[in-house]
A and B are shown apart, each in its own frame.
Chain A
Amino acid sequence: MAQIAAERYTGASVKRAEDPRILTGAGRYVGDIKLPGMLHAAFVRSPLAHGRVLAVDASAARALPGVVAVLTGADLEEMTIPGQDPLLAMMGGDGPVAEYTLLATDKVRFVGDPVALVVAESRYLAEDGCELVEVDYEDLPPVANAASALDAGSPPLFASVGDNIIGPHKRSEFGDVAGTFAGADRVAEFHIDVHRHQNVPMEGRGCVASYEAGSGVMTVHAATQSVHVTRMAVATRLGIDRDKVRVLAGDIGGSFGLKIGASREELAVAAAARAVGRPVKWVEDRSENLTASGHAREESFDVRAAVSDDGDLLGLDVRMVIDTGAYPVMGTMVPGIIEAMLPGPYKLTALGFESTAVTTNKASYVAYRGPWASETFVRERVLDLVAKDLGLDPLEIRLRNVAPSTRPPFLMVTGRPLIGVTTRESLERVAELVDLPAFRRRQAEARVQGRYLGIGLATFIEAAPGPRSAEGSGGPMGMEYMRLRLAEDGVVTLFTGQMPHGQGHQTTLAQIAADEFGVPFEQVRVVIGDTDVVPFGLTGGSRSATMTGGVALHGARQLKAKVLDFAALLMEASALDLEITDGQVLVRGDPDSAIPVEEVARQAASGHFDADADTNLEVEASFDGGEGGWSGGSHCAIVEVDVETGLVKVERYVAAEDCGALINPAVVEGQIRGGIAQGIGAVLLERSAYDSGGNYQSATFMDYLLPTACDVPRIEIEHLETVPLDADVNFRGVGEGGLIVAPPTLVNAIEDALTPFGVRIYEQHLPPARILELIAAAQSG
């Protein structure tokens, strides 16, 4: 199905190769997998936030017809290796190590903590079995929030840690913090909270595991952002050699950071499959997903800002506490990124940063689309609050503080060069698009009629991949790998460790390779999701545009050179005179010489050539990110707040984004809109709520509210393309920016709307009831 006649596929909104299967119900998600003899698992979960497990009686469940096995925490402990979270172990977090088992043994640490696993002939029977497992608990006092966790007298979740401080208190200083604050005209102080909310992919976590006792091979069909990280986790916790673990993945129903590696439940299912000798499937239901898959954010910040009377933000001093929930995964890694990114695109010259990570009796902290996003929320909120104090316009204070474009580039106070950053341009562009002066007039007229409109601006940069380090010590994001082969049927085949879950990599990578190699888009195949054939890789951190786009480009170039070397033998020409156009190899300028690449591939595979001819039309490519660069942008929202009901309507939303050279504009815009929609949800609807006893309050979609088609407006997007930094690869990541910058954009707009009431906002979650409280408090205060 040839689809476009563009000169180049790269840069065009090529229709996605994934869509014919997903539009016809022919996608293959983990829940669709059915293996011969497959059993089903369900988990018995803790109803308590914090408790001691005194006894687990599974006898009635084991006696239920259809139940094949019940595995308790103690059973699992015998068949697996306790340890840290595999991802944390791989990435290396700071602080004391909390080791734990896959299922709770001595203690339960949050509502939903898995305690036992029932394996049965159907999911229905497995859930019946769960009902029959009796667990005796002894209540322990819950550590339900960060304040309790910081109290040295709080009962430690992990005896080995001794208290609930998992990321030790640390302080760093950049620039002259004391001098800057001492010399500032004014110092403003704020306490800012970011609430707990979560990924909620439409498909929850899940896996199907099967173990072949004869060969000792464990095969796991997973929903994961990296088959190799999942393999590492399975091998480590189950004590199997890595080369005897094969992880496969097909279509994945969203993730947004949740499905990195393998969770405790997935590892327990793999252990169960090995124990019972039959394949076992588990796909979490929505209640498990909301309760137990993990939550994000929940951070608080004590902020001091050193400011001049003219509106220069001179320095920040920030104390952060992050509530990482029960089982440390990546919460301890986040403060370091927040510290590095807090200056953003601005020229402040002093930063003090302190952080503490605590464990609490709540679901574990997981990555969610821009895990460090609070740096942007805090900074962009502070700028508006300072602007209000000084009577400055939000655009004016930002333009005043944006770092200048200089050569050599301005260095963020935390060290990285702000090279190729277009913050000033994107701010000016969104202000122009919404016609700021005209809006202010309309806002004033509306207020006279008792209608409260507000406008919010916010800007961000993201290290996707980030600039090459000044010392030249290597690329900004490590290495990315790809194997490329010209298959015998002439299809350019890319093997990537990327594990797309909505990003459309089977389209975008094919666009790049098709252009670089010289074949039609349809003649490129992108192979994903099998540890036996794809190189190491991970989809996350907005990494793939630069890193994988880049390795696809360079790899296709290398493969083309190899194919031309071999074709030169066939065609009795110099490789230097050959080119590949539209799937044909030809002597440049001589169309009659053309032979299809499939003919070249067939000849190479024929075995008719001498050993000294290189007939292996395959390359292994790697890419270090080249010159890298920043992605970023500015967003602007216009909202109307109904001060009677507290409802916020997003009237208009404009984004000017810079992700360098676009691979596929429709895919880029989909990423931006999707992130903004999640930001609208985060501010207006979504909250992973616990009561003061650590009981989870948001376990259904009637309680955890997601934005619908009526809540998200049409989003207007303009693309700015930065000056290229690299000779070949100027694609930048765009996966996370929408959710990084939409929350401050919206909160700034809401505060602007409520200016007549004197409302100041120091938090991110603003459902109607909270809006009314803020108005009432401001009026009474």
Chain B
Amino acid sequence: MVDITVRVNGATHTNSVEARTTLSDFLRDDLDLTGTHVGCEHGVCGACTVIVDGRAVRSCLMLAVQAAGSEVTTVEGLAPDGSLGTLQQAMWDSHSFQCGFCTPGFIMQATAFLSAHPDAGEQEIREALSGNICRCTGYQSIIDGVLLAARRSHTD
């Protein structure tokens, strides 16, 4: 077992984990942050995407011990008081999702992308989200949600 200290959604956690524990399992099983979903465990589908030190990462491909000393944001950290952030609200307004399983990954990927590329257009957004798989929607409603959030951020 390895002792690690990680900041997750602004709170510091010190835990003892097996070295082989993935970050996604650590978040879900040890911290009960089940908003992060595990869709493929080989880094393709993006459902498990979280933000580590400002960058979107696949938490199924990262070990918890690698996150020691890092700042991790999960979907639960975006709206701490149960409200919706700009992107979440725009996605609600756009009927972005159906089953909701891929949702946290898309939200975290889009959050990281928009913070670096606030002026992105549709094609750039499609490319930025092309590493996240949604099986329900055909993507258009998700893209529309991200575009709406970007537009609202500009007018805020």
Contacts and interface: CB of A to CB of B under 8 A. Distances in A.
Interface of A: 13, 15-16, 18-29, 31-32, 34, 124, 200-203, 251-254, 256, 285-286, 501-504, 666-667, 670, 673-674, 676-678, 700-702, 706, 708-710, 712, 714-715
B45 interface: yes
B137 interface: yes
Contacts of B18: 124
Given A253-B101, A700-B42, A709-B130, A502 B136 contact: yes
A26 B74 CA distance: 12
Given A252-B99, A674-B98, A701-B44, 11 more contacts: A24-B84, A29-B101, A201-B101, A203-B101, A253-B100, A676-B138, A677-B138, A701-B42, A708-B129, A708-B131, A708-B139
A709 B129 contact: yes
Most buried by A among B88, B134, B141: B134
A254 B101 contact: yes
B140 A714 contact: yes
A715 B135 CA distance: 16
Nearest to B134: A202
Contacts of A708: 129-133, 139
Contacts of B137: 670, 673-674, 677
A26 B101 contact: no
Contacts of B28: 31-32
Contact of A701 (B100, B129, B133): B133
Interface in B76-112: 76, 78-79, 82, 84, 88, 91-93, 95, 97-104, 107
Contacts, number: 167
A25 B126 contact: no
Contacts of A674: 98, 135-138
Chain A contact residues, majority secondary structure: loop
A435 B42 CA distance: 44
A634 to B, nearest CB: 18
B92 A202 contact: no
B100 A502 contact: yes
Most buried by A among B42, B78, B127: B42
Contacts of B35: 24-27
A202 B99 contact: yes
B98 A670 contact: yes
B101 A202 contact: yes
B30 to A, nearest CB: 11
Nearest to A714: B140
Contact of A200 (B42, B74, B135): B135
A13 B36 CA distance: 28
Nearest to A667: B95
A24 B99 contact: no
B134 to A, nearest CB: 7
Nearest to B43: A701
B33 interface: yes
Nearest to B34: A32
Given A24-B75, A254-B101, A670-B95, A712 B138 contact: yes
B37 to A, nearest CB: 7
Interface residues of B, number: 58
Contact of B103 (A22, A200, A285, A667): A22
18 contacts: A13-B95, A15-B93, A15-B95, A19-B92, A25-B33, A25-B36, A31-B38, A200-B135, A202-B39, A202-B102, A251-B99, A251-B100, A253-B101, A286-B40, A674-B136, A700-B40, A701-B44, A709-B126
Given A27-B100, A124-B18, A202 B135 contact: yes
A20 B76 contact: no
Most buried by B among A15, A24, A201, A286: A24
B42 A702 contact: yes
B93 to A, nearest CB: 7
Interface in B58-83: 74-76, 78-79, 82
Contacts of B134: 202
Nearest to B40: A286
B136 A24 contact: no
B20 interface: yes
A700 B129 CA distance: 20
Contacts of B78: 24
A712 B139 CA distance: 7
Contact of A254 (B82, B99, B130): B99
Contacts of A23: 84, 88, 91-92, 97, 100, 103, 107
Closest 6 CB pairs of A and B: A25-B35, A253-B101, A22-B100, A502-B99, A673-B138, A502-B98
A108 B42 CA distance: 27
B137 to A, nearest CB: 5
A86 B60 CA distance: 35
A644 B14 CA distance: 56
Interface string B20-51: 11000000110011111111111011010000
A256 B98 CA distance: 12
A710 B127 contact: yes
A700 B131 CA distance: 15
Contacts of B91: 19, 23
B8 interface: no
Contacts of A19: 91-92, 97, 100
Contacts of B92: 15-16, 19-20, 23
Contacts of A285: 41
Contacts of B129: 708-709
A712 B133 CA distance: 12
